[in-house]
Amino acid sequence: RQPVPDTQYIPLDTPCLARLAGMLVERHADGRLLDLSAVIVILPGRRAGRRLLELLCERAASERLVLSPPEMVTMSVFCARLAEDAAGGPAATTIEQLAAWAEALRAAPGDVLEYFSPRGETATAADTFSVAQMLAALHRELSGERIAPRTLAGMPFEDEAEALRWHAFDSLRGAYLGALAAHGLVDPYDAVERALGSPGATPLPGT
């Protein structure tokens, strides 16, 4: 029998790892077994993963349980898996994403470049890479909040240039996604939106 998928969110106003370890024991301990092999835990990094494993081992030892640990992944790894499932292709690595942003910048028209690259067509490779890093960081921040650039572009800013800047970023984002697609790659955050069925997700090529 296939297990029914179940998602649990741990609030940030309590000691998360200790609470999470206790919840896993309470929900999955069965007789002398604590089988968490079918559980995926999303954590901010390896340090948190090591600490959670320590807590689980302590609980298992104190209650004399045989522990099969859960799979512990970061959000980026989890998003990559969702991307592959939703888009049927590999998720772009960090460096591949930066390369796609740089490709989008090199192909961008002057009226878009002026908002992000003061040197325009005279920008060096180092300049382009620096701007690509800034754009990638902005894309991650907005995607994490599930805010589409076109939504910001449509807001009633007092300064018209601000709205135009968001329009330019939205244009660059589309070029970035197109550059990834041309290489058979998908953006992890965009693919998560596809997996969630969001109307703001970029359609797959040919759909």
Range 146-174 average pLDDT: 87
Cα gap 186→80, rounded to integer Å: 9
Give the mean model confidence (pLDDT) for residues 142-166: 85
Residues 199, 207: contact at Cβ < 8 Å? no
For residue 4, the tally of other CB atoms under 10 A from its CB is: 5
pTM of the model: 0.59
Q: Answer whether residue 130 shows pLDDT above 80.
A: yes
Mean pLDDT of the chain: 82
Mean pLDDT of 64-83: 83
- Distance between CA 96 and CA 104 in Å, rounded? 12
pLDDT at 15 exceeding the cut of 80: no
Per cent of the chain over pLDDT 90 is 37
Banded model confidence at residue 121, pLDDT cuts 50, 70, 90: low
pLDDT on residue 56: 95
Position 158 pLDDT exceeds 90:
no
Q: Where are the beta strands (DSSP E) in the chain?
A: 29-30, 33-35, 40-43, 66-68, 71-74
- The span from the CA of 43 to the CA of 185, in Å, is 25
